[in-house]
Each structure stands twice: as C-alpha cells, then as structure tokens.
Copies of this chain bind each other. A is one copy, B any other.
Amino acid sequence: MAIIITEETRIVVQGITGNQGRFHTGKMLEYGSKVVAGVSPGKGGTEVLGVPVFNTVQEAVKITGANTSILFIPAPFVLDAALEAMEAGIKTIVIISEHVPLHDALKIMRVAQAYGVTVVGPNTFGVISPGIAKVGIMPNTIYQKGPVGIVARSGTLSYQIAYELTRAGLGQSTVVGLGGDRVVGLSLAEVILSLARDDETQGIVVVGEIGGTAEEEAAEVIRHINKPVVAFIAGKTAPPGKRMGHAGAIIERGRGTYQSKIDALWNAGALIAEVPWEVPVLMKSALVK
C-alpha cells in the first residue's frame, strides 16, 4: 500500500505557473504521478504541461477530484494557500516552500488538526512512494520500489541514503521528508508508526540530525514496533551553537545532542549506522534475520 502517497493520490499543484511549480510538475509527471490540476489565481482556464489550471483549489477539487496538494508558493502566502486547500477538502498537503513564518506554521498545523488533514513540511523535499508516485522535488532516478521505508529530516542526506540503499538492491516503500523547520506537520514518530503498520514496509530507516528532540521521541515509538530500524544521525562533529543551515540544527542546552539521540535510539533497539553506506549493510543483515 505504501503510506501518505498511494494509488489514490490525485495531486493539485498550488503555484503551478511559477518557475519551481512548473519545473517540478514536469518532473512529477515524468515519474508517473497523477498531477490532475494546478492552481494559480487569475490563470484559470490555461494549462501547464497539459495539466489544467484553476483559479481556486475549490474548483480544482470539484472538477478533478484532487485530494493531495503540493505547494510551490512564496513563503508569505503559504498560510493562505494551505488554508484554502484544507477548506476545499484536500486531505494531504505537502509544503515545499522554505522560510514560512513560524507563526503561520502554527496556524496551519492547528487548522490541519481540526480538519483532519495530514501536513508534510514546510521546507520538505516531499514524499515518494517509488513505482507509484512522488509528491515532491526529490530526484526521480535514485529510488526503486522495495521493502524499506525512509523517514528523514533533511533532503539531500536522505537522497544519499536512498541512493546507497538502491545501489545495494534495497528498494523503498515510501520515503518521507519531514521538513527542516521548527514547526512541521508529520513528526518522526508519527511516520515511523505509519511505516510500522504498512504491509509493504519491512524495515525502517531514520535519517536524523542533531537539534530538537524528534529522534528521542521517535525512540519511544521504536521500542514498540516489530520491524528493524536503522538510524543515521548527522552532526556528530557539529560545533555547538552554530546554525547549520536551518533552525532545526541549533544545539541548545545540552538536549538534542548526537549522543543523546544515538543513546535513545540504540536503547530502543534501533541499529546505528556510523556512516551513510553502513545503512544498507545493517538493514540487509536485519531483514535476513
């Protein structure tokens, strides 16, 4: 079945007429994703790469049956776009945009909770269920359908790990990017739980990094699941207190360190990869057992 993105996923691209929206719509179509609609106020009635463009999400949903939205929207307008999608009945929203104001993210997540909507991101590379569809901006070429679910806090590092897995002959069920911001929708623990319940997933790879306490909370979940979990955590040698590109990577107050994450995951029964190319090795040996 895969998680989040399935055969039933019908995608509307919000901001389809922008550079990024147009480019990644093409890439998603190439991958076989069902991109059924685009939204761009004032551009309704036109087409982008054969995809019909609507003025409102409401109309897109009504006419095309879209149920999943991906946002390529300038940060200040993401709140509006996400609210519009939720009110129009969209049930999964993937927010690619970076630099979304924190307070806007709070409002989005609160409304999503009230509406029963799954939000991925902001500042995520998206979600891919190889062989089915991708709703995101990850490269099309590195994934392969298979038994390993990946959940990652950062994009490029997860590409590296997926690449290593694929090269080792371990395909993926679903790969989820949580997003690099302080407030994001799906949490590490939630995705791990979903993957644990997913029939197609046999093993789970956690791609974490220092900062925050997501990995420590995920450990509490990992303790209770029956599938092997392999974790790689970046930032072992990162200097304390330096911003490593995004806010999630601030080490503060002794929490969220490399060691506290490794300890928590190890104690919960996860296998720890010290370098990225150890991930497939550990997963293979765990799946054989």
At the interface, yes or no: A49 with Cβ under 8 Å from chain B?
A: no
CB contacts (< 8 Å) of A140 on chain B: these are: none
A113-B113 Cα distance, complex, nearest whole Å: 11
A114-B112 Cα distance, complex, nearest whole Å: 10
What residue in chain B is nearest A114 (Cβ atoms)? B114
Number of interface residues of A (CB under 8 A): 2
Q: Interface 1/0s, chain A 101-140, versus B by CB < 8 A?
A: 0000000000001100000000000000000000000000
A114-B115 Cα distance, complex, nearest whole Å: 8
A113-B114 Cα distance, complex, nearest whole Å: 8
Q: Interface 1/0s, chain A 78-93, versus B by CB < 8 A?
A: 0000000000000000
Query: Smallest CB–CB gap between A51 and chain B, Å?
Result: 34
Chain A interface helix/strand/loop/mixed: helix
Query: Smallest CB–CB gap between A114 and chain B, Å?
Result: 4
CB contacts (< 8 Å) of A113 on chain B: these are: 114
CB contacts (< 8 Å) of A114 on chain B: these are: 113-114
A114-B113 Cα distance, complex, nearest whole Å: 8
A114-B116 Cα distance, complex, nearest whole Å: 10
What residue in chain B is nearest A111 (Cβ atoms)? B114
Query: Smallest CB–CB gap between A111 and chain B, Å?
Result: 9
Query: Smallest CB–CB gap between A83 and chain B, Å?
Result: 14
CB interface residues, A 165-213, toward B, < 8 Å: none
CB interface residues, A 19-45, toward B, < 8 Å: none
What residue in chain B is nearest A115 (Cβ atoms)? B114
Query: Smallest CB–CB gap between A42 and chain B, Å?
Result: 30
Query: Smallest CB–CB gap between A116 and chain B, Å?
Result: 10
CB interface residues, A 50-83, toward B, < 8 Å: none
A239-B114 Cα distance, complex, nearest whole Å: 42
Query: Smallest CB–CB gap between A112 and chain B, Å?
Result: 11
Query: Smallest CB–CB gap between A46 and chain B, Å?
Result: 36
Query: Smallest CB–CB gap between A163 and chain B, Å?
Result: 42
A84-B113 Cα distance, complex, nearest whole Å: 19
Query: Smallest CB–CB gap between A115 and chain B, Å?
Result: 9
A6-B114 Cα distance, complex, nearest whole Å: 27
Query: Smallest CB–CB gap between A109 and chain B, Å?
Result: 12
What residue in chain B is nearest A113 (Cβ atoms)? B114
Query: Smallest CB–CB gap between A87 and chain B, Å?
Result: 13
A260-B114 Cα distance, complex, nearest whole Å: 36
Chain A interface residues toward B at CB < 8 A: 113-114
Question: Can you report 2 residue pairs joining A to B where beta carbons are below 8 Å apart?
Answer: A113-B114, A114-B114
